[in-house]
Structure 1
Amino acid sequence: MQEIIEKLKQTPSTLYLTYVLIYIPWGFAMDAFGTWAEIAKFNHWWQVLTCYGLYMIPISILLRGRPIFEQYAYGLVAMGLLEFGGYYFETSYAYPNNIIENTFGSRNFALGMALFFAVYFPLGNWVVNKMYTRFFSK
């Protein structure tokens, strides 16, 4: 556990800033798309900040530099817990008869969401790395 905390502490503030500038707008855009397409949405706007900022950014930093499939696998566990919790505690709303339920069945909705959102970790780390090296590389 100490190793995890140290890695997060040693991460440069400019890297955190890069994650925030990419993940937070990305989160609001995905929430807006999910609402527009009537797939799913957060019940409160601030959940974007907690989920994308306080949950996904630290996990992304911890997964940074690992192979893509490893990032995806760990991301799948992380997103599975997040999706399960969101629907269990009813802080997220899944629209009835949404495209995922209609395609894969209602029992597979949270799994489908977790499988999709786990891609955020390798993809997000790739995007952040490109932006970070472009603007903050020495």
Structure 2
Amino acid sequence: MLETLTEKLRKVSFAEVCIYSILYLVTGILMNSIGIYFEIVRFEYWWQIITCYVLYMVPISILIKEYSFFNQYCYGLLAIGILELSGYTFQTSYVYPNNILSQLFTPYNLTLAMTLFFAVYFPLGNMLVSYIYKKLPLQKKLLQ
């Protein structure tokens, strides 16, 4: 049977949620900074980093973390595609004119290129969170 997001979230420890949140927040800040520095794309508002990377991507990552790398990537394509399309449609994401990615992929394919790139965050993020969580001393029992 398919588990709901609520059921899957209940199975995730507080420590894991913190790792997801910190990892995705740092990634969001870094990616937005890179986008601004190289004048590719940027969020219009600083708080979008939190809403997109933490409030949107973390629950999706948790929801799909049990699937294979390929399936996580495919679900990530859908999730990021919706996010990218809505960001450019509602103009909450700004694309710098004649940026390097627009020149490489053409302005018409920029959203597709961004979606194909950012969808890999879900499987890679899940792998990294799992690795970090297993390395934390929180896993050890008190009476060892």
TM superposition score normalised by structure 1:
0.95
Which protein is bigger by CA-based radius of gyration?
Answer: 2
Aligned to 2:42: 41
Shift >4 Å, 4+ stretches: none
Per-residue CA deviation, residues 41-83 of structure 1 (Å, 9 max, x unaligned), is 0011110000001000000001112110000000000000000
Per-residue CA deviation, residues 72-101 of structure 1 (Å, 9 max, x unaligned), is 000000000000000000000011111111
Q: What amino acid sits opposite 1:137 in the alignment?
A: Q
Aligned to 2:103: 102
The aligned length equals: 138
Aligned to 1:120: 121
- TM superposition shift of 1:12: 1.1
Per-residue CA deviation, residues 92-115 of structure 1 (Å, 9 max, x unaligned), is 001111111101111101111111
Where do 5+ consecutive residues of structure 2 fail to align?
none
Q: What amino acid sits opposite 1:103 in the alignment?
A: L
Aligned to 1:78: 79
- TM superposition shift of 1:27: 0.6
Aligned to 2:13: 12
Aligned to 1:88: 89
- TM superposition shift of 1:2: 6.7
Q: Call closer, same or farther: CA 1:2–1:133 in 2, change over 3 Å.
A: closer
Secondary structure in 1 matching 2:4: helix
- TM superposition shift of 1:9: 2.6
- TM superposition shift of 1:5: 1.7
Following the alignment from structure 1 to structure 2, what is the Cα–Cα distance between the partners of residues 132 and 10?
14
Aligned to 1:55: 56
Following the alignment from structure 1 to structure 2, what is the Cα–Cα distance between the partners of residues 39 and 132?
33
Aligned to 1:134: 135
Where do 5+ consecutive residues of structure 1 fail to align?
none
Among the aligned pairs, what percent are the same residue?
A: 46
- Alignment RMSD: 1.3
Following the alignment from structure 1 to structure 2, what is the Cα–Cα distance between the partners of residues 57 and 23?
7
Following the alignment from structure 1 to structure 2, what is the Cα–Cα distance between the partners of residues 3 and 62?
8
